[in-house]
Structure 1
Amino acid sequence: GIGNEKLRPYQQFMPNRHKFRVGGTGISGLAFADDTSGSYPEEFRDVAFLANPITSTINCVKIVRNLDGTITAEHLPDLLKSKDDWFRPVNIEFGPDGCLYIADWYNKIVSHNEVATTHPDRDKTHGRIWRIRHKSQKPRSIPNLYKASNKDLVTHLQSPSHWQKRAAAFQIADRQAKELVPTLTKLVTNTSVEKTARIHTLWALEGLDAYDQKTITTLLTDKDGDIRREAVRALETFKLSPDETAALLSPLITDKNVMVRSQIIRTLEFRGKANNKTIDILVSFCHPAAPNNNMGGGYEQNFERYLARRALERYPSELKAYLATAEAAKHPEEKRVWAQQALGKQAAGSFAQQWKTLSKKPLDKDTLVIVSGRSGDQSVQKLVQPYFANPKNAKHIAQIALKHAADAYAPAVGYPLAETAMTLVRSGKKEDIILGLQLARTYRITHLCPEFAKLISAAKDETLKREIIASLSHLPKGFAMQFLALVNDASNSKNVRIDALSALVQAQGDQSVLTVQKFLADHPADQSAIINALGNTTQGNHVLLILVASKKLTTADIPLAVAERINHLYKNDPAAKHIHQQVTAAHKKQLDKDVARIAKLEQQFATKSGNPTTGKILFSGMCLTCHVVGEEGNGIGPALDGSAKRDTNHLLTAIINPDAAAENAYILYRVIESSGIITEGLKSKQDKRGVSIAQQGGAITFIAKRTVKDQHHVGSSSFMPTGLISSMPDNTVIDILTYIRSLK
């Protein structure tokens, strides 16, 4: 879907098809040489031409979808590589003459989010269109098909030009040239005619609504899978009865061509009418989830079950009636269970029957989502309780639930998952206890907090103590004494005491000011860590505001991110405004120094190369926590492949001042929970269940909607922090630049 969103929660994304990358962060056009002759020669068959404005190239990738669903791909040499850095291909198309046309944006600046929209280097008046002809091509006359006779349109359907075929098919349909039906029928079934000519002829027959059962039956049994697929698709257009449709499609449900099988499901979905026979076909595609999502097996199985359930959602009354028939009972129980999910919420008795099948296998995402959807029913909770409380299942359940929280969360699913969490906590094993705490925290199972508080006295490990504190911080007010004891216990690590102090402030609010003040005085070396920790909660930000107002802290002690939170939370407080103004002014002063440094660094880089090996080490530790290059990195931010083509000034600007041209998709997002916890990062997903926030390093935090008090983008601030290289010496920056400019 748009924005890489799933069309349904249970949809599987297609896995990576190959390991190579063509470079750059975005492709702006795709074209294939589809003409059978007179255009690019046979060596370019199945070659995707890719317009790559980042690297100023036209890339070539030969790609073939095999019958079993696997994909064969090969990265070929580029068709075009320009020495002109302003060459920015943003669209690409083969014309009627069989030549390749390229729309060239012609701009020094490579993308809209590299520098500010007001940057003087942005060219807003020039542009070019290029035409590339293969040396073997001969000039081709372009017919005016508006003036062609109906009889001649049949000839144009057989032209080697893909454009002529398509235009002729459209003309026949627009003119409703029904006298051509006998000729078109002979043409479409003639196996000696080139495949794409036959497919366009079928399109013309569809446009004329010229259905002939003998013709369609012939096409459905054709040796060519693409012909069979198009014949299956055409059945939707011809609007046959469900009985007729089922009779034609039933022999194809085990077709070896995966595209034919998936088209059967789509045709039945979009036909808009169903009966027991067509529903039976759809249920046959309700496969169990595959153990993997690999192309050529697992992905196709998962994709077909997704399409089948989506199609069945269109026919709830027909599906419900079908499931009560003897024909339905012939399908394996697991297929019927998956089909039943298309009905949405069902009675507990229906779920009880499904659970007999679901509980026989290890929990997977789909089963968890099913249980979650029914968990509001107390009889369902009671039914699944033994499974979720079973120590043999607990670890696996927790891992699945944590991995898929954004898809499976519902408030009531916390009850069966609470059984899992407590089973893990009671095990006494550190790693299991931590897993149980994380499970309860992610699903906001706060009624277990009193049980978790009992773990503090016996906990010796720093990691375990921090996990306990993190869990209790979602319901902090009842545990102030425990937090205070952890703060005052000098045997605890610095991190444990700071975490406990922040949680104490959540619990006590302004009453904790003196405790915080004393802790700061006793631990001056940890002041920065303490302030940052307090800045992660609403209560902590108010305590910091009080301490600055009472001059126990200065505005210079407050980081910009914390100052922005204080200003947002207490925007009507003059002291908050003062802090924000002072901190922002200091930040701008430093930023101005950094921006002024760009010219110096640019000059040094032009005359002296750095050490790319050193640069790569620094780049990997600093940049790949968010960005990706090739197969390395976390992929939260844009890919940096193709940075060799980026202007040095623009590149330095993007690093030093990312807020200057932050793209909407990469604006910092803030979520404030009712407990006071503040989470900031990149919004990766949001729906009725909650919001997922991606953070540096690749971690994604799911926050349930019911706990969210406020959420918003943080002005125009980029997710990428400013000041990354403020303290770096020039030589170090040059090393990083040298490596970045090596990324093809």
Structure 2
Amino acid sequence: MLFLNQPSAHRRIAQLTSALSLLALPTISLFGQNPLSVSKPEKDSSVEAQLESFTIDPRLEIKLFADETMGISNPICFRWDAHGRLWVLCTWAYPQLKPGEPPNDKILILEDTNADGHADKIITYADGLNMPTGFALGHGGAYIGNSRDLIHVRDTDDDDRADAREIIFTGFGTGDTHQNINSFAWSPGGELYFSQGLHCFSRVQTPWGIRRLDEHGSWRLRPLRRQLHAHRRTSGGGNPWGFAFGDWGEPFIKSNDNTISELLPGLVSTEYISGGYWGGAMQIGGTKIKSMIIEIVDSPHMPDDFQGDFIIAGYFARNVARLRPSVDGAGHKLETLEPILTSSHNAFRPVDASIGPDGSLYIADWFNPIIGHYQASFRHPDRDKDHGRIWRITAKGRPLAKVPQLAKMNASQLAEQLAAPRRWTRQQAKLRLMDLPKADATAATQKWIDGLKPSDPDLEHKLYEAIGVFESHEVINRRLLDRLLDAKDYRARAYATRVAGRWHDRLDDPLAILGRRARDEHIRVRLEAVVAASDVRQPKSILVAAHAGANDSDRFVKFAFNQTVHALANHWRPALLSGDLTFANTDHLQAVLKVYGGNDVAGVVRQQIDNPKLPVKQRQALFALLAQTGNTTDAQLILKSANTLPDVLDALSGSVQKRNLQPPPNAEKQLFAATRNRNGLVRAKAIQLAGLWKINSFKDYIVTEATDQNEPANVRLAATEALAQLGGDKAIESLDRLAVLTEPASVRAAAISGLAKLDLPKAAKHSAELLTKVNEIELGSILAAILKRNEGADALAGALNQTKVSPDRAKLIRRWLNAAGRSDNRLIAAVDRALGQQVAMPTYSPELVATLAREALERGDVVNGRKVFQLPLASCTACHSVDGIKGATTTVKGPNLTAVAAGLPLDLLVESVLWPDRQIKEGYEATTVVTKDGQVFSGFLHNVDKNELSIRDLTTDKIITVQTRNIQQHTKGGTVMPPGLTATLTHTELLDLIKYLSTLKTTGQPK
């Protein structure tokens, strides 16, 4: 279960971590390494050896609960039943069945019959499973993710062995076996959540139509209605693996890299994703490196300071991590604490964690020196198919929790357990009530509710637990819903708002309910209202969403609002255009159209502008919106009425660039007044527009503005950029005069950029001269200006070869090129020539890799390697950090390399340092776009759709958006880590660097 999230990887060490994606390569047996993905088997795989390897919080102790001697092998996950038994899902087939071999993975039931802390009874509940990756107990059996199928198996004769099997749904993607549907978890209201990974493309036929989920995301099933919802990219990583719900139903999701995300804002069913390719906008924290599963501590047996903390299974770091949540606006944030358990044993792979019925913490240990299947052959002989362990962590000196006999309770007794102080008891009681006949469960729950005292300080939480019983049976309890909607505790109101969204098709007034909560004083309730409104597929639902989230700056609300606008677009847009939908609040209309407008809504904006009662500020905002959505006629109106408003002129410029908006017939006349406005910002925006529209009659004026040193810097900058748009000999002559050291840095860089478009040799000559004189900060702007032109690198290389460049200056240039991920051979050669270094890179061979690896282990010096890592010319810290070593920049960051040796065998680490193109993680290839006007943009793909493509620029860390109609060439592939970064190192320094990197595993870093 491997996937590495690399937020901004590039240059030489970037692919050290990203090499995780490579297909099976041989592991060199000489390595004495302990890399976490492909390790050599321990000589001693005994329980005693593992116990010896553990370092645990001194207040805790760990003992074995069950192991392979009972038939446990490679446990993936486990779940508890009301009897207090532990159900464990094991696979012998992963990562791939042998040809002709029948699938026979199993669910086993473990029981500790004498309560001594060790399982002593085992039953095979289900077998014949095909690489299942998740299950949940419910409705008299188990829901299982069985490759492409979601199945439900039951025991019909009470012998604890499944004898009935039903395929609930089929068509789930199976593009990668560790990304199949997984992590099954029940919500407080009886919804079954599960997820799928990056390479899964699902098409599932349901009674409600075909449900589609491309790539990674989460599923939500309401079993009794067979209602399935898909939510794209909800985890902030390529392989989501783990759900958890807070005390009031707050949903969280764990990716299988290091991140944890707020799930609620993503529970909007739409193909549109505003959080980028990886969907990471809702991240709230995480572990240092890859991990999985979330368990929230609620146990009187555990230490007091553990209560409410998140427990994470650190399968990659071989630890059990701990994080502490706190409220952050409408969502949460996490503080990373010290792990409660770490291990030095190669095979320790915690993959699940759960508080048990006795209050202890149980850990599923996959037990394998090899994980995943990108790093080693499917048939690698070191894959362990024989071992698997369940560990039990207890607190010293604290009594175990009393185990309730839930399996023996009737409906009334179970309803009373909804008030139990422990989460485990309440959850199990609700699951038992869900399994009981609807009439019995709901009647008993209602009777319990009727007996609650109004003065009970926990009344509202008890009502919250109770409504989940009605939800699980799809029984509408309006009176209970109203009580919670009007609760004093905002968390009760928030959850009730979610329920109202779920029940909307069976309520008489769902939008009225949600409308009131959209005005709630608490931001969490308003967030729930936005998400709930997205489920009510009616035109007026957008009014609710807009009232709750239109002008809220909270990142969780903003994300949910953007998603909801798109999710409801097929309903509100036609109604708006036909006049059947009216926004009473113009601000709300503006917010909606800003998120999802389109040219066809311009008429609605025109009508609003014509309203004589409209406040001035709103009218100005509508003009800006009309500039974004309107046509050439609208541009004429805008220039006539709002040509002194910088925001409006800026919006017009955006439309010219994005939509190729043409100038109105009187554009020259209307812009003339704006270009002479006393407000410099107005003049700057008007000049920019004149340049984009190529109004040549302004050229002389623009030349004057660009060269007048008494003009404000923003006006001169706009004029310089406009000259590049207008072109011609006069523009070239003016830009030639501006591309000199005496001009301000911004004007100088803009002049270089403009010359690069109009006269590349002149731009290259000026650039080469300036690079020898400007300071280190300005040097980057000069390089960026010329290198964004197609063939700019070659032109600059030629100019540098004709310019005297000092070695120190060449070092600065090389450092910038390294950090920018530039691998232009001629340019790098020219810079290296100035450095006095022309060192050829060695040719790859497996023998050379083995030699370097052996020498690094035998002769490498870790302490000196750390120093090499920090050398400016090596550029490691230009993009990467290690705990204790800060990166050299704050704007561009590659992956934290604190645990690089935890993910790479040493042979792959050597390859990644010397030949980065051999190891490229999918999703982190370089993306390069050449536009029709000769601009070049390179970086990491951020997002792409039919209209535009966005790239995260490696030098600025900013998102650059290019309209697809303007793209001449789009290439994807190759590393962004320049080759030859180690060419400046001596052989000894190279060995030291490799040795140092091989020690980075998360803890005990060399100083």
Q: For the structure 1 residues 384 and 52, does the alpha-carbon distance in structure 2 shift closer, same or farther, using more than 3 Å as the test? A: farther
Aligned-residue offset at 1:557: 7.3
Contact 2:236–2:280 (CA under 8 A) maintained in structure 1: no
- Equivalent position of 2:660 in the other structure: 412
Residue 592 to residue 388, structure 1, CA distance change in 2 (3 Å): farther
Aligned counterpart, 2:895: 638
Residue 303 and residue 735 in structure 1: after superposition, are their counterparts in 2 closer, same or farther (change >3 A)? closer
1:666-714 Cα offsets, whole Å, 9 max, x none, are 2233334445655443323323212415335646544432232332333
Q: Which amino acid aligns with 2:940?
A: L
Contact 1:629 1:640 in 2 (8 A): yes
C-alpha deviations, 1:5-26, integer Å up to 9, x for none?
99757779998998xx876233
CA separation of 1:434 and 1:351: change in aligned 2, threshold 3 A? same
Contact residue 881 and residue 896 of structure 2 kept, 8 A: yes
Counterparts of 1:21-170 in structure 2, within 5 Å, are 24-34=288-298, 37=300, 40-65=302-327, 69=330, 71=332, 73-84=334-345, 86-95=347-356, 98-106=359-367, 123=383, 125=385, 128-135=389-396, 136=398, 138=400, 145=407, 149-155=410-416, 157-159=418-420, 162-170=423-431
Q: Using a 3 Å threshold, how does the CA distance of structure 1 residues 267 and 182 change in structure 2: closer, same or farther? A: same
Partner of 1:550: none
Q: CA deviation at 1:48?
A: 0.9
2:547 is the counterpart of 1:284: yes
Q: 2:590 aligns with which of 322, 325, 337?
A: 337
- CA, structure 1 residues 15+281, in 2 after alignment: closer, same or farther (shift >3 Å)? closer
For the residue of structure 2 that corresponds to 1:49, the secondary structure is strand
Report how far residue 387 of structure 1 moved.
Answer: 8.6
RMSD over aligned CA atoms reads 5.7
- Give secondary structure in 2 for the equivalent of 1:664: coil
C-alpha separation between the residues in 2 aligned to 1:706 and 1:671? 12
Which residue of structure 2 lines up, in the alignment, with residue 313 of structure 1?
569
Are positions 1:725 and 2:978 aligned together?
Answer: no
Equivalent residue in structure 2 for 1:374, among 608, 617, 629:
629
1:666 is aligned to 924
Question: Do structure 1's residue 704 and structure 2's residue 704 form an aligned pair?
Answer: no
Conservation of the 8 A alpha-carbon contact between 2:367 and 2:384 = no
1:380-433 Cα shifts (integer Å, max 9, x gaps) = 32234479965x838x987x999xx8x996232586978535588745469537
Distance 1:49 1:119 in 2: 33
* Partner of residue 350 from structure 1, selected from 601, 604, 607: 604
How big is each residue's C-alpha offset from its partner over 1:298-318, in whole Å with a ceiling of 9 and x where there is no partner?
446645754664575364279
Change (3 A) 1:165 1:485: closer
Q: Structure 1 residues 348, 259: closer, same or farther in 2, change over 3 A?
A: closer
The question of 1:220 aligning with 2:475 is answered no
Residues 1:265 and 2:530 aligned together: yes
Deviations 1:303-360 (A, max 9, x none): 57546645753642796399779x954x3x3234324556754454432355687994
CA distance in 2, matches of 1:279, 1:726: 59
Which is further off, 70-79 or 679-688? 70-79
Does structure 2 retain, via aligned residues, the 8 Å contact 1:63–1:71?
yes
Aligned residues: 655
AA partner of residue 530 (structure 2):
I
1:353/1:288 CA distance change after superposition, 3 Å:
farther
**1:458 matched to which residue of 2?**
737
The aligned residue for residue 182 of structure 1 is 443
Match of 1:383 in 2: 637
Asked if structure 1 preserves the Cα contact closer than 8 Å seen for 2:463 and 2:480, the reply is: no
Q: Whole-Å Cα distance in 1 between the matches of residues 882 and 616 of structure 2?
A: 42
Match of 1:618, SS? coil
Q: Which residue of the other structure, out of 623, 633, 651, is the alignment partner of 2:876?
A: 623
The residue aligned with 1:552 is: none
Paired residues for 1:497-536 under 5 Å: none
User: Contact 1:101–1:131 at 8 Å: present in 2 too?
Assistant: yes
Q: 2:721, 2:751 within 8 Å by CA — same for their partners in 1?
A: no
For 2:874 and 2:983, the matched residues in 1 are separated by 16
Given that residues 949 and 963 in structure 2 are in contact (C-alpha distance below 8 angstroms), is that contact kept between their aligned partners in structure 1? yes
Equivalent-residue separation in structure 1 for 2:542 and 2:738 (angstroms):
57
Corresponding position of 2:695: none
Partner in structure 1 of residue 939 of structure 2: 681
Aligned residue type for 2:629: R
Structure with higher helix content: 1
1:378, distance to aligned residue in structure 2 (A): 0.7
Question: 1 or 2 for the larger relative contact order (CA 8 Å, sep ≥6)?
Answer: 2
Question: Structure 1 unaligned runs (5+)?
Answer: 291-297, 537-543, 545-555, 561-584
Amino acid at match of 1:337: Q
Label 1:302 to 1:626 Cα distance change in 2 as closer, same or farther (>3 A).
same
Residue type of the alignment partner of 2:658: A
- SS at 1:381's partner residue? helix
Q: Secondary structure at the match of 1:640?
A: coil
- Letter matched to residue 470 of structure 1: S
Distance apart, 1:194 and its partner CA: 7.2
- CA–CA separation in structure 2 for the residues paired with 1:649 and 1:363: 61
Given that 1:373 and 1:410 are in contact with CA atoms closer than 8 Å, whether structure 2 keeps it comes out as no
Q: Which amino acid aligns with 1:410?
A: K
Q: What amino acid does structure 1 have at the position aligned with 2:688?
A: T
Residue 47 (structure 1) shift: 0.3
Gaps of 5+ in 2: 1-231, 238-265, 668-684, 692-701, 774-781, 818-823, 830-839
Change (3 A) 1:75 1:438: farther
- Residue in 1 that maps onto 2:133: none
Decide whether aligned partners of structure 1 residues 439 and 152 sit closer, same or farther in structure 2, where only a CA change above 3 A counts.
Answer: farther
In structure 1, the residue matched to 2:913 is 655
Amino-acid identity (%): 16
Q: Secondary structure at the match of 2:337?
A: strand
**Whole-angstrom CA distance in 2 between matches of 1:358 and 1:498:** 47
Alpha-carbon deviations, 1:237-290, whole Å to 9, x = none? 434677633554555444333222222233233133466xx6654443254364
Whole-Å separation in 2 of the counterparts to 1:505 and 1:689: 20
Of 839, 843, 846, the residue aligned with 1:588 is 843
Q: Which letter does structure 2 place at the counterpart of 1:412?
A: N
Contact 1:418 1:448 in 2 (8 A): no
Q: Is the 8 A contact 2:359 2:401 kept in 1?
A: no
- TM-score for both structures, normalised by structure 2: 0.53
Is the 2:434–2:472 Cα contact (8 Å) retained in structure 1?
A: yes
**CA, structure 1 residues 280+349, in 2 after alignment: closer, same or farther (shift >3 Å)?**
closer
In structure 2, relative to structure 1, the CA distance for the partners of 1:246 and 1:310 (3 Å cut) is: same
In structure 2, C-alpha distance between the alignment counterparts of 1:352 and 1:76, rounded to whole Å = 55
**Aligned-partner SS, 2:926:** strand
Superposition TM-score, scaled by structure 1 size: 0.68
Match of 1:549 in 2: none
Indicate conservation of the 8 Å contact 1:312/1:339, yes or no: no
Structure 2 vs 1, CA of residues 78 and 386 (structure 1 numbering), >3 Å: closer, same or farther? farther
- What is the CA–CA distance in structure 1 between the aligned matches of 2:463 and 2:790, rounded to whole Å? 74
Question: Greater strand percent: which structure?
Answer: 2
CA–CA distance in 1 between the matches of 2:615 and 2:732? 35
CA contact (8 A) 1:602 1:648 kept: no
Separation of aligned partners in 2, 1:33 and 1:372: 53
- Tell me which moved more, 1-10 or 249-258: 1-10
